[in-house]
Chain A
Amino acid sequence: MKTPTDRSTRRRFLAGVAGFTAASAAGARAGGAENLPPNVPAWTRQLGDGVGLRAYGNPSKYEKEVIRRTVPWLTATPESSVSFTPLHALDGIITPNGLCFERHHGGVAEIDPDDYRLMLHGLVEKPLIFTLDDLKRLPRVNKIYFLECAANSGMEWRGAQLNGCQYTHGMVHCVQYTGVSLKVLLAQAGVKANAKWIMAEGGDAAAMNRSIPIEKALDDCMVAYRMNGEMLRPEQGYPARLVVPGWEGNVWVKWLRRLKVGDQPWFTREETAKYTDLLENGRARQFTFVMDAKSVITSPSPQAPLKQKGFNVISGLAWSGRGRVKHVDISLDGGRNWRTARIDGPVFDKACVRFYSELDWNGEPLLLQSRAMDETGYVQPGKDALRKIRGVNSIYHNNGIQTWAVKPNGEVENVEVG
């Protein structure tokens, strides 16, 4: 189902051109000049809303287009589907809670926190049930991690498909989690010596379950109940979810209701029929947990065209499931030559970093790319290098280098280069 028509494509093209031209001609805004100097705008002459009207504040009404968006033709039903983070409209490393992409398999469970229970059993000395208050009484940790769906960029394996980094890369977010270390939680029950794997299960209508090696569970996993200071959003697993740093989003089980310790993996549907990487020879990699280093230029990008010639900022996001991002390069010529981008802001283990590169642009066509390197020495590969090893049927784990073509009018398009 190819929804957009030729007409809409043309309108989009014209809109891009119009935006560029209008912005170039100083002051020629659609809104008129009554709010611009020397005039004094209404918001300076009149009182605004008092306190309390916005008991839970929302972004400015002028930011109403900065929202999660869906690709309706992707899935059979919205309850088992995905919405995408508007990366092109964000900056810094933290994703606002209401903009974190959603991926549900049975809709959003609405769990009464008083009725929330987490069961921990299997190969443990004593099986336990925790309430939410129990979890909050255990020692707390605060950690900033990225979460990327294994299928992020999955539509791009066969070539450039979706024209916007919200769609090509928007199944990633990065927030600060507050919760209890899984190691501490497991110690309350006492893990038996023959424990090798742990199964996490959701309390939603999909009861999502995944197997995780005990080494990872005892390393840096958490059971989180807060994101960016407030309680988890329902879409992110309220009131508690598993945090599995650096690993594919599917194992970060939301609405977490059960942890079972075992001595072998469960080979659940989600780690066999789904979330396995089918290679060209018809065999599939399983338990490909780690998200490899990846980056994308978020602006300019198709939804965020260049509006003015002259000095411009290139802004992008990079992350690695293997550790800290160490370095990011950008290219203006489709990967022929590279320059070092400037990482600005904090650099945390398995978290997003923000990078910038400044550009004097005179309307010449550009083929923008970014390339992330992490502290293990892993360098984000080109798409063709990935395809050479994996073919085009993997669906998951596409961390290939993205190319944006910038046209003389400032429009940007998702393209493939060769």
Chain B
Amino acid sequence: MWRLGKLAFVTAFLFASAGHVLGQAKSESPRNYGIGKIATPEQIAGWDIDVRPDGQGAPPGHGSVKEGEKVYMDKCAACHGEFGESAGRWPQLAQGKGTLASNDPVKTVGSYFPYLSSVFDYIRRAMPFGDAQSLTNDELYAVVAYVLNLNDIVDDKFVLSQETWGKVKMPNQGGFFDDDRETTEKAFWNSNPCIQNCRDPVTITGRARAVDVTPDEATKKRGAE
């Protein structure tokens, strides 16, 4: 898709050039209207919380697995379970290795997340659920270290910080590839789709009623008639 993206960009550029030749002002870069105030470094610092896979954006601070265990038990275990096994329907954080190709894939930090930053950035911005952005930097590093430890990615003595960031290797980093639908699903582009006798007479092979998981309230209207 990146190639296609570039192609679209080039096409847009060519189109813009043609427009310019025809004297259409529309193709010009948008003008600067002088609207918006300069964002100060202090303002940016308060909101600039994103962290990339290479560690860019990671704040100063550090935290050990041991320190993280306390944070986790206090603030995370009620939903995610003491061992990351999940309580109820809340996300499971640990285990699940070797399940991705099975009939019941279990996606956890250890089995699925590709980068340390994917976990770190998310916890930093959105966790604990209902008390977002309340952890200190040290607590954040510590609790991430603990979750990595629950997944056997780091040992019990590990201390996470900017310095040790690069030492964390996520097991499923190689498990992803860019959208390839335009090649692997090329058959779905078809200018002459079948109209008549496209398949043998069909039979019903499954019914939603047999599964019976639809909320009942959906049909109250007719029940009242």
Residue contact B198 to A337, C-beta cutoff 8 Å? yes
Q: Residue B74 at the A interface, CB < 8 A?
A: no
Give the interface size class of chain B.
Answer: 35 or more
Give A289 to B1 CA distance when docked, in angstroms.
10
CB contacts (< 8 Å) of B12 on chain A: these are: 215, 218-219
Question: Which among B35, B101, B180, B219 is the interface contact of A137 at CB below 8 angstroms?
Answer: B35
Q: In the bound complex, do residue A119 and residue B198 qualify as a contact, i.e. CB atoms below 8 Å apart?
A: no
Decide if B29 touches A266 in the complex (CB within 8 Å).
no
Q: How far apart are the CA atoms of A405 and B187 in the complex, in Å? A: 28
> Could you list 21 A-B pairs, sorted by A, with CB under 8 Å?
A3-B213, A16-B222, A79-B129, A79-B130, A121-B48, A161-B211, A188-B36, A219-B8, A257-B47, A272-B118, A273-B122, A284-B112, A284-B177, A303-B219, A335-B198, A371-B193, A379-B188, A389-B184, A416-B206, A416-B207, A417-B204
Which chain A residues border B181 with CB–CB below 8 Å? Answer: 285, 288, 290, 292
What number of A residues sit within 8 Å (CB to CB) of B?
119
User: How near does chain B come to A104, taking the closest CB pair, in angstroms?
Assistant: 12
Within 8 A of A (CB), among B1-30: 1-2, 5-6, 8-9, 12, 29-30
A329→B213 contact, CB < 8 A: no
Q: How far is the CB of A181 from chain B (nearest CB, A)?
A: 7
Answer whether residue A61 sits at the interface, using C-beta atoms and an 8 A cutoff. Answer: no
- Residues of chain A touching chain B, judged by Cβ–Cβ distance below 8 Å, are 2-4, 8-9, 11-12, 15-16, 18-19, 22, 30, 65, 69-73, 75-77, 79-80, 105-106, 119-121, 126-130, 134, 137-139, 159-164, 166-167, 181, 183-184, 187-190, 199, 201, 205-207, 209, 213, 215-216, 218-219, 257-258, 260, 262, 264, 266-270, 272-273, 276, 278, 280-290, 292, 302-303, 305, 329, 333-338, 367, 371, 373, 376-381, 385, 389, 393, 405, 413-418
Most chain A CB atoms below 10 A, which of B53, B205, B206: B206
Complex alpha-carbon distance, A154 and B137, angstroms: 37
- Which residues in chain B, 97-124, are within 8 Å of chain A measured between CB atoms? 100-101, 103, 105, 107, 109, 112-115, 117-119, 121-122
Whether B101 pairs with A280 at a CB distance below 8 angstroms is: yes
* Most B CB within 10 A of own CB, among A4, A15, A280, A416: A4
Query: In the complex the two chains form, what is the Cα distance from A65 to B222 in whole Å?
Result: 10
Chain A residues with CB under 8 A of B176: 272, 276, 283-286
Closest residue of chain B to A416 (Cβ to Cβ) is B206
Residues of B within 8 A of A (CB): 1-2, 5-6, 8-9, 12, 29-33, 35-39, 43-44, 47-53, 79, 88-90, 100-101, 103, 105, 107, 109, 112-115, 117-119, 121-122, 125-126, 129-130, 132-133, 175-181, 184-185, 187-191, 193-209, 211-223, 225
Contact between A134 and B195 (Cβ–Cβ < 8 Å)? no
B51, B126, B197 interface centre (most CB from chain A within 10 Å): B126
Residue pairs across A and B with CB atoms within 8 Å: the count is 307
- The answer to whether A134 and B203 touch across the interface, beta carbons within 8 angstroms, is no
CB of B40 to closest CB in A, whole Å: 8
Top 8 closest pairs, chain A to chain B, by CB:
A282-B101, A269-B122, A334-B202, A282-B100, A416-B206, A128-B36, A414-B208, A76-B89
Known A-B contacts: A120-B39, A184-B30, A338-B194. Give 16 more (CB < 8 A): A9-B212, A12-B223, A69-B217, A71-B214, A71-B215, A121-B44, A137-B35, A161-B208, A163-B214, A215-B6, A269-B119, A285-B176, A287-B178, A329-B193, A337-B197, A389-B184
Question: A336: which B residues are within 8 A, CB to CB?
Answer: 197-202
Give B169 Cβ to nearest chain A Cβ, in Å: 15
A70 to B216, CA, bound (A): 11
